């Protein structure tokens, strides 16, 4: 689709950013589309950590990875991304992806929450390796999503040493999802 949706744009932009052997984190595994993309991009020698609070998301992601022959490159973690620093341990990822909101096809009451999201993003900025890239897709169209989206944008905008950007489709009926990108200074 042109112009690409934020999720498509994210993958297009990340293609040039991830090298074989890299370590990447998917902080919201969901149905595994982003995790599969990251696992392909890091190659056979790379590693991905994918996190989600819902068992349904972890099993959906595992099934998608199995199907693609990528399961051995990915550590799946059932838990809250607010604990990102603890979950990642000594790992210093080059890319961290957040795709916020609810699980498509799942329980729409389980959404990412501003407080956890901000904690997770703060940890993500801290553990990202110098020159690394952090991406967040925000969904201002559902209840609470607007507050979360604004808080995420404010947080990223408050890091003056980072180079950050925003991408969205314009002139939509409902508030459109948007992609935020920030690069940690090296
Ligand atoms: C829009 S979906 C992610 C889509 C996914 N990246 C994909 O490619 O299919 C958002 C996900 O965030 C998860 N989530 C919500 N709160 C979370 C939290 N505190 N920690 C980790 N994941 C969370 C939801 O369970 C849901 O699966």
Q: Whose CA is nearest to atom 5 of ligand 1?
A: 30
Q: Whose CA is nearest to atom 27 of ligand 1?
A: 30
Contact between 155 and 121 (Cβ < 8 Å)? yes
Name the region of 32 (left: φ>0; alpha: ψ -120 to 50; beta: rest): left
How far, in Å, CA of 167 to CA of 186, rounded?
A: 23
d(CA 129, CA 135): 14
Atom of ligand 1 nearest to the CA of 7: 8
163 token code pair: 């180079």
Ligand 1, residue 81: give the atom nearest the CA: 20
- At 37 the pLDDT is 98
What is the predicted pLDDT for the residue at 160? 84
Pairing outcome for strands 133-138 and 74-78: unpaired
Which two tokens mark 142?
């559902």
Alpha-carbon distance of 44 to 73, in angstroms, equals: 7
Question: For the whole model, what pTM was predicted?
Answer: 0.98
| pLDDT: which is higher, 107 or 22 | 22
DSSP-assigned letters across all residues of 14-53: HHTT--TT-EEEES--TTSHHHHHHHHHH-TT-EEEEEES
What are the pLDDT digits (tens) for 142-161?
Answer: 999 999 999 999 999 999 88
CA 116 – ligand 1 centroid, Å: 12
Q: Please tell me the residue having the least CA distance from ligand 1 atom 16.
A: 112
Mean pLDDT of the chain: 97
* Ligand 1: centre distance to CA 22 (Å): 22
Compute the distance between CA of residue 120 and CA of residue 92 in angstroms, rounded to an integer: 15
Per-residue pLDDT tens for 84-137? 999 999 999 999 999 999 999 999 999 999 999 999 999 999 999 999 999 999
In the structure, which protein residues have their CB atom closer than 6 angstroms to any atom of ligand 1? 28-34, 51-54, 57, 80-81, 99, 101, 103, 110, 112, 116
Classified as helix, coil or strand, 167 is strand
Neighbours of 169 (CB within 10 A): 14
**pLDDT value, residue 157:** 95
Terminal-residue alpha carbon distance, the chain: 34
Give the distance (Å) from ligand 1 centre to CA of residue 57: 7
25: pLDDT strictly greater than 90 = yes
Q: What phi and psi, each to the nearest 5 degrees, are found at residue 146? A: -70, -40
Residue 30 alpha carbon, nearest atom of ligand 1: 27
CATH (one of 3.60.110.10, 3.40.1190.10, 3.40.50.150, 3.10.450.50) for 6-13+22-183: 3.40.50.150
Beta carbons of 11 and 37 less than 8 angstroms apart: yes
């Amino acid at each position: 689709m042109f112009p690409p949706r934020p999720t498509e744009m994210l993958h297009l932009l990340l293609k040039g950013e991830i090298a074989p052997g890299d370590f990447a984190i998917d902080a919201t595994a969901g149905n595994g589309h982003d995790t599969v993309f990251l696992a392909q991009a890091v190659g056979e020698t790379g590693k991905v950590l994918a996190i989600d609070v819902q068992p349904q998301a972890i099993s959906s992601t595992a099934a998608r990875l199995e199907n693609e022959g990528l399961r051995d490159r990915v550590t799946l973690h059932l838990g809250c991304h607010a604990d990102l620093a603890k979950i990642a341990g000594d790992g210093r990822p080059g890319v961290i992806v957040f795709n916020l909101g609810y699980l498509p096809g799942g329980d729409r009451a389980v959404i990412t929450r501003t407080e956890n999201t901000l904690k997770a993003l703060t940890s993500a900025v801290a553990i990202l390796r110098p020159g690394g890239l952090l991406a967040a897709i925000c969904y201002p169209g559902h209840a609470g999503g607007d507050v979360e989206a604004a808080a995420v944008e404010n947080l990223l905008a408050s890091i003056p040493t980072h180079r950050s950007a925003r991408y969205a489709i314009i002139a939509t009926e409902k508030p459109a999802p948007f992609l935020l990108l920030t690069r940690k200074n090296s």
